[in-house]
Amino acid sequence: MLHGDTIDFVGYSTVQPSICESGALRLLVSRYLNIGYTLTKGLPYPFDDPNNRLITGDEVDQAIRNACNFSHRRRTLHFWRAPFAFSVRLSQPLTGVIEWTLFVQSDTLLGLDNNLGEQNAAEFMNVVIVALETLPTYYGCLYTSQHPPSVEDVIRGVVSKVYPANYFGDSFLGLVEREKLSGMPAWLNETVGSGRLVVPSIKALYADDDLALQEANRYLFGRVEPSIADEQND
Q: What is the pLDDT along the chain (234 residues), one digit of tens a residue?
A: 455 688 899 999 988 878 999 999 999 999 999 999 999 988 777 878 888 899 899 999 999 999 999 887 778 999 999 889 999 999 999 988 999 999 998 888 877 665 556 788 889 999 999 999 999 999 999 987 778 899 999 988 888 889 999 999 988 887 777 888 888 889 999 999 989 999 998 888 877 667 888 899 899 888 655 443 344 344
Cα–Cα distance for residue pair 218/203, rounded to 1 Å = 18
CB 217 within 8 A of CB 223: yes
Instruction: Give whole-number Cα distances, 153 to 7, 45, 77, in Å.
Output: 21, 39, 27
